[in-house]
Structure 1
Amino acid sequence: MEKDVKVDIGVKDDARKKLVETLNMRLSDEYVLYTKTRNYHWNVIGPRFSQLHKFFEEQYEILDEMVDEIAERTRQLGGKSLGTLEEFARHSSISEQPGQYPDPQTMISNLLKDHETIIKTLRKNADEADEQYDDMATNDFFLEAVQKHEKMAWMLRAHLEGKDVL
């Protein structure tokens, strides 16, 4: 039988529980975005196949690390991390398009939109972690995630800018 050990890190129990819920929603978003990016990596076609195949791989590898970091932060706060595809789909604000294989420009636009959605949500979560739950560490954690997503969004945006659009 598993014994729960009290988590005494200076964050109130009710705040930790709320933060765990929030982290699990972000974990779900990240996992769905990871899967979507990997799907595009597998299914991209066209004259820039090689470049985009490698680009999507670089992005999903970053997302894979972020998934692990969020799950571990959830555990650090004494919570359990979601871990099934059904849970991720149920708790994610990112939508998938099963059975659809968009052109490369649409793939990039879809991913950019998803990153921007996550960025806005993470900013709100960071404010809540600091102001409502008095958890500077989780606030910092969310802000680092914002920076990673902003960089990935910038790279996606760069593929859509200029005359040489896909």
Structure 2
Amino acid sequence: MSDQSNSKAALLAELNGLLADHFALYTKTKNFHWHIKGPRFRDLHLLFDEQAIEIRDQIDDIGERVRKQGGETLTSIGAVAKHTQIKDQDSTSLSPDEMVSELRDDNQKVVARLKKLKGLCEETGDNATDGLVDDWTDMAEERVWFLSSILG
């Protein structure tokens, strides 16, 4: 396999990883949106919903980038679980700060994946994905910033 083919395969794998991360992070963010309790309920309920919508809205764009590059996307919940770096959280009784902290850390993992993806876009000359990665990185960094600011 040529270096260009290896780079393209790595790009597609990382895009599918990003796709898996977005599915998993969307689910976790909605879980926390539904199960938040306490005096900050309204603010955090609304913030988690805003962030979940932003994450959800990127899913189709990521999948379409995989297809436009000639790759195959994830096809099942099992594939998402296999490729994501976002760990499940089944507890419905976390404190608000535990929820915020976990989402901050998960979004930071997405930022790290996006930075790796940026290099792969440059290696393969994928200018379209490269431009989208800049926007997705900005959104993920903003989510990290907001969540970090809540924790002080």
TM-score (norm 1): 0.83
> What corresponds to 1:110 in structure 2?
102
Alignment of 1:72-87 (within 5 A): 72-87=64-79
**Paired residue type of 2:62:** I
1:93 matched to 2:80? The reply is: no
Higher RCO structure (Cα 8 Å, ≥6 apart):
2
1:54 matched to 2:38? The reply is: no
Distance (whole Å) between structure 1 residues aligned to residue 91 and residue 112 of structure 2: 28
**Paired residue type of 2:125:** D
- 1:17-55 CA distances to partner (integer Å, 9 max, x unpaired)? 332221101100111111100000011000111111111
1:148 to 122, 139, 147: 139
Between 148-157 and 98-107, the greater mean CA deviation after superposition: 98-107
**Paired residue type of 2:91:** G
Mark the structure with the bigger radius of gyration: 1
Tell me the percent identity.
32
- How many pairs align? 149
**Paired residue type of 2:106:** D
Extract unaligned runs of 5+ from structure 2.
none
Distance (whole Å) between structure 2 residues aligned to residue 21 and residue 134 of structure 1: 16
**Paired residue type of 2:148:** R
Distance (whole Å) between structure 1 residues aligned to residue 6 and residue 147 of structure 2: 38
1:32 matched to 2:17? The reply is: no
TM-score (norm 2): 0.90
Distance (whole Å) between structure 1 residues aligned to residue 109 and residue 100 of structure 2: 14
Q: Is the 8 A contact 2:14 2:113 kept in 1?
A: no
Distance (whole Å) between structure 2 residues aligned to residue 151 and residue 99 of structure 1: 26
Q: CA deviation at 1:114?
A: 0.7
Q: Hey, which of these two has a bigger chunk of helix by percent?
A: 2
Cα RMSD (Å) = 1.6
> What corresponds to 1:22 in structure 2?
14
